[in-house]
Amino acid sequence: MNELTALPLFGVALTLAAFALAHALYRRTGSVWLNPVLVAILSIIAFLLVTGIPYRSYARGGDLITFLLGPAVVALAVPLYQRRLELWRRKAAILCGIAAGSLASIVSACGIAWLLGGSRDVIVSVAPKSVTAPIAIGIAERISAIPALTAPVVVMTGCLGALCGAEFCRLVGIRTPLAAGLAVGTAAHGIGTARMLEIDRLAGTAAGLAIGLNGLATTILLPLLMVLAGG
Amino acid sequence: MIRGFAVLLSFQLAGELSVRAAAWPIPGNVLGMALLLVALMLGLVRLEWVTEAAELVLSHMALLFVPVGVGVMLYFDLLAREWLPIVAATVLSTFVVIAVTGHVTQALAGAKPAAEDAGE
């Protein structure tokens, strides 16, 4: 059994099976709370905990799937190219929206953690929470936060944005696909983008654009704000 | 399809090489996306070379995040120690960012879905 679970086959098979089942459940019920990504993640974690199979064994196969995220991010250039005229016409609104979102993310995340008595480590580690994981880890290292804490916070943020980002947009009166896509992409990076791509092509494209631009904005803004806040 | 993946992976590789050489703080795949966009605009890469492969990975992007999410289980102890500020900051701030970004964009770009763009 141990030999089998140590093969990449195990992680790949478990991931695809869990996602297929979660997707079927989502289609059957139509409930946004049963987001397939979240259900798949939670059921795999539960499965590993119950069976006692180490995360490292699962990751041999999991890493093969994660590998495809690289070309998937590059592939976002295709819808960006197809929508380039439409996006270029609204460049000022797009850049201002993302810059405002990046600032709001840092201030609100740090502010809430501080108000609730979080330690300095927690306050700085949640600061890049809305940035795509590889950039967020890089930022965390540079501002001497704890990357091991930033990583799960980034993933939880993404899942939350995917889970109810689109519904929250409707609730607060964000109606256009461009604004909703940028909002969820800026708040919940790639995981939010994946959900927006399923809902609306323009929204998904705008979200993909926001991943890169918010990463850039936060990389620049966060060190500046930390100097202002006295480190 | 094979040509599409060859293009996507080549641009990712070019992005990774560039960020390493220049020590930029952005991920190689994000730079790869920017480089592919430029190559498409300059006509160095034809759209039809990459559409099929891009469509395949983009339409299954959600699945690709599942193993990343499972990785959260490694950090349960760390998260449990100061769970309240961590969870509250994550959840509330996510909603703040959505509201701020969406409303700023909508105020500047107009709140009506752009009908004139439909035929673009």
**Structural domains counted in chain A:** 2
Same domain? For A198 and A151 the reply is: yes
Residue A77 lies in a domain: no
Same domain? For A48 and A132 the reply is: no
Structure tokens at B53: 């492969």
Same domain? For A135 and A219 the reply is: yes
Residue A75 lies in a domain: no
State pLDDT tens for residues B44-58.
999 999 999 999 998
Same domain? For A163 and A121 the reply is: yes
The chain-wide mean pLDDT, for chain B, equals: 89
Distance CA A154, CA A134 (A): 10
Percent of chain A surpassing pLDDT 90: 75
Residue A74 lies in a domain: no
Same domain? For A95 and A154 the reply is: yes
Q: Which amino acid appears at position A82 of this protein?
A: Q
Same domain? For A221 and A121 the reply is: yes
Q: Mind giving me the DSSP string for B65-112?
A: THHHHHGGGGGHHHHHHTHHHHHHHHHHHHHHHHHHHHHHHHHHH-SS
Residue A209 lies in a domain: yes
Structural domain for A173, as ranges:
82-228
Burial class (CB in 10 A: 0-12, 13-18, 19+), A195: buried
How many CB atoms lie under 10 A from the CB of residue A121? 16
A67, A101, A118 - which closes a domain:
A67
A35, A67, A99 - which closes a domain:
A67
pLDDT at A195: 93
Q: Which residues of chain B are modeled with pLDDT < 70?
A: 111-120
A10, A40, A67 - which closes a domain:
A67
- Best of B40, B44, B64, B76 to mutate (most A CBs within 10 Å, chain A): B64
| Residue A217: closest C-alpha in chain B | B26
Distance CA A126, CA A145 (A): 9
Residues 10-39 of A with CB under 8 A from B: 11, 15-16, 18-19, 36-38
Same domain? For A102 and A45 the reply is: no
Residue A76 lies in a domain: no
Burial class (CB in 10 A: 0-12, 13-18, 19+), B33: buried
pLDDT at A156: 93
Instruction: Compute the Cα dihedral for A186, A190, A192, A196 and give only its sign.
Output: positive
Same domain? For A123 and A167 the reply is: yes
Same domain? For A192 and A114 the reply is: yes
- Best of B5, B61, B81 to mutate (most A CBs within 10 Å, chain A): B61
State pLDDT tens for residues A45-83.
999 999 999 999 999 999 999 999 899 989 989 999 998
Q: What is the mean pLDDT of residues A20-49?
A: 93
Percent of chain A surpassing pLDDT 70: 99
Residue A72 lies in a domain: no
Same domain? For A186 and A143 the reply is: yes
Q: What is the mean pLDDT of residues A14-38?
A: 92
Instruction: Return the SS3 of B114.
Output: coil
Same domain? For A131 and A56 the reply is: no
Same domain? For A138 and A180 the reply is: yes
